[in-house]
Amino acid sequence: MSFQPTPKDVSVIISTPTSGAAADSTSSFATERRITPTWTISQLKVKLETMTGIPPGSQRLRLKAPGKPDQWVEGEERTIGEWGLGRGCEIEVHDTRPPSARPNFTDLSAVEKYTLPTSTYESLPNSVLAWKKAQKLGRFDPNAQSPEELMRAQAEKDEAEVKKRGITISARAIILPSSPPHIRRGTIRFVGPVPTIPFPGLKSKSAEEADTESSSGPLPIWVGIELDEPTGKNDGSVGGKRYFSCPDKTGVFVKPDKVKVGDFPPLSLDDDLEDDAMEEI
């Protein structure tokens, strides 16, 4: 009996086509693996499944060899070496299943997400919640005010600021902090509660709820300003409810302590040219 040397493994590229299964489709690089030439096509397909995720029965292999025409590999019991497998070859794995039957591993919306039960989280000894409980912070502080109490205190503070700063409808104002040349100025169009802006610890109201529900106490005050330039965030509406009207991106809502009322006329082109001249001196 003559000695039969062990066949040497061949390093080849394993790839999958980017579009369809046509003979002229382009391939995308997947990985490089060592293939034993004596493997049967059936054995090879089993190993390729772990690389491509395509079941053996749905695989169709195309062998690409340097300097030779591409050829489809047929015959489950034939060895891959019979097809001229050599160094520099590429095995392209085609999926014969219809697109609708192929799993989409990039669609994360179909993956079930794990949610830690609230009771389990509250029982953990090393969580942020446990640390807050130990330090008596936030809602675990026995002397801490409730969100409703904080909102009532904010409303009283806002009302005092409105009176102190002389904030009234149609008054000219700038938004603080402001320093040249970044000064946002405009006209006050609204002063009052904005229920559609959420308060920390409380759920914001929808536009329908803001119109129908009555508040159990005073609400924080906001100042709606129509800016001279489109550096705002809205058109006078927030959360689907309109409080005043102005061109888009010229409306903004700020707290009373961020408003300074005064003689701030709209900037004109002459003012811009004068500012530019001053900067050049």
Which pLDDT score, from 0 to 100, does residue 277 have? 43
User: Which CATH number applies to 10-97?
Assistant: 3.10.20.90
Which pLDDT score, from 0 to 100, does residue 211 have? 59
Where in the chain are the domains?
A: 10-97, 153-261
Class of domain 153-261: mainly beta
pTM of the model: 0.50
Work out the widest C-alpha separation in the chain, in whole angstroms.
Answer: 110
User: Mind listing the pLDDT tens digit for each residue in 216-254?
Assistant: 568 999 999 999 999 999 999 999 999 999 999 999 999
Task: Give me the mean pLDDT over the 21-45 stretch.
Answer: 77
